Structure 1
């Protein structure tokens, strides 16, 4: 029993050591929208899905084929691009406010056209609001990044879980739950370390997109999806 406990701890730590770096980047994004609780929940959901897929694989049901794991690399790439555009928009907003905008009669002439666009976009907003009620976009983003970053772990977890008894599997799940909390705690402390925090806050508009896009490219190439 002690041997399986140690094996489970080592398996989680070795397969998720890079996740500490990703979590540290995510904790640097904490603000009014991205709360710490969202990161924790997203992390639990992401790893929970990976463990569930691994358990299904251990019992002979393979849902995610290894050669298609690389497709998940698109997720952090999209999120990295989104963060870059959001950062660029935030930097431009104060500049726009300082210059201000003068209303003219042209605005009145375009009112009719804008109303049609607003009606179209209102439908899209309704769908977005419905999705937001089901799950917060920030939680979903963390969950997707976690799944993409750890999808290759399934290949390690499946043979491990296959060799375990039911009792050992329950124990492993409990260990993983505790380890996720520990990972989040360590990452938050690293993100709040004075020198690290100062650097991330100063250059996060550059670091975060590079990390996410780089992670996505690494996942795609490591999976040999393109070869």
Structure 2
């Protein structure tokens, strides 16, 4: 049962998380040159993904009253508000001296909680896919799926770091990250809200 769950779990993980590579690559670009960036991104991705798995397992166990399906689109408010906050900081600091590198680095520090919040908010579709799968397999298979998913989080973060550190991509991200980062977060938030029909959209 466990072995027969591994391949489907791998496929399901990458199918539902491949879009995270772009967001994580932007986090790596934002934290470039800072000590501990990879550890913070990995920690945040794990924290956010544990929240996704926890929600999916609870809903599949019948705890849907705590997380009704119609509440999931409102997760889009998290990246939307984070993106607006970053955009405001970029606009406010637009006239700062380019030589003030220490202030720039301090202002762009990637936090575990920010990565976790964006990961969790972007996981609404994951929850929607995982719940019916978990409902149709036994408890042992659910444990196997969760174990495979958690093991693959490291692979996902490594892939994002690999993408973000390729020379042409790294140079482009370094140049445009301050614009791309808030734009992607705002677009992600709006996409989650609109595609889920939040606020009657």
What TM-score do the two structures reach when normalised by structure 2?
Answer: 0.86
Is 2:30–2:110's contact at 8 Å kept on the other side of the alignment?
Answer: no
Tell me the CA shift for residue 27 of structure 1: 1.0
CA distance in 1, matches of 2:177, 2:92: 14
User: Which residue of structure 2 aligns with residue 19 of structure 1?
Assistant: 20
User: Which residue of structure 2 aligns with residue 223 of structure 1?
Assistant: 196
User: Which residue of structure 1 aligns with residue 135 of structure 2?
Assistant: 162
The alignment yields a C-alpha RMSD, in angstroms, of: 2.2
Tell me the CA shift for residue 25 of structure 1: 1.1
Aligned-partner SS, 2:111: helix
Tell me the CA shift for residue 12 of structure 1: 1.0
Is 1:70–1:224's contact at 8 Å kept on the other side of the alignment?
Answer: yes
- Bigger radius of gyration, 1 or 2? 1
Residues 1:77 and 2:80 are matched in the alignment: yes
Alpha-carbon displacement from aligned partner over 1:151-199 (angstroms, at most 9, x marks no partner): 1211111111122223222221210111100000000000001011000
CA distance in 2, matches of 1:82, 1:163: 41
Aligned-partner SS, 2:82: helix
From the superposition, tell whether residues 80 and 50 of structure 1 become closer, same or farther in structure 2 (CA, over 3 Å): same
Aligned length: 189
Aligned-partner SS, 1:186: helix
Residues 1:86 and 2:127 are matched in the alignment: no
Tell me the CA shift for residue 38 of structure 1: 0.9
Is 2:40–2:110's contact at 8 Å kept on the other side of the alignment?
Answer: no
After TM superposition, list the pairs within 5 Å mapping 1:127-166 onto structure 2.
138-166=111-139
Aligned-partner SS, 1:92: coil
Is 2:27–2:110's contact at 8 Å kept on the other side of the alignment?
Answer: no
Moved over 4 A (4+): none
CA distance in 1, matches of 2:95, 2:36: 21
User: Which residue of structure 1 aligns with residue 103 of structure 2?
Assistant: none
Is 2:122–2:192's contact at 8 Å kept on the other side of the alignment?
Answer: yes
CA distance in 2, matches of 1:18, 1:57: 24
Is 2:43–2:112's contact at 8 Å kept on the other side of the alignment?
Answer: yes
User: Which residue of structure 1 aligns with residue 106 of structure 2?
Assistant: none
From the superposition, tell whether residues 96 and 8 of structure 1 become closer, same or farther in structure 2 (CA, over 3 Å): closer
CA distance in 2, matches of 1:30, 1:222: 30
Tell me the CA shift for residue 90 of structure 1: 4.5
Q: Which moved more, 1:39-48 or 1:170-179?
A: 170-179
After TM superposition, list the pairs within 5 Å mapping 1:10-49 onto structure 2.
10-31=11-32, 32=34, 35-49=37-51
Tell me the CA shift for residue 59 of structure 1: 1.0
Is 1:68–1:223's contact at 8 Å kept on the other side of the alignment?
Answer: no
From the superposition, tell whether residues 191 and 95 of structure 1 become closer, same or farther in structure 2 (CA, over 3 Å): closer
Tell me the CA shift for residue 203 of structure 1: 0.9
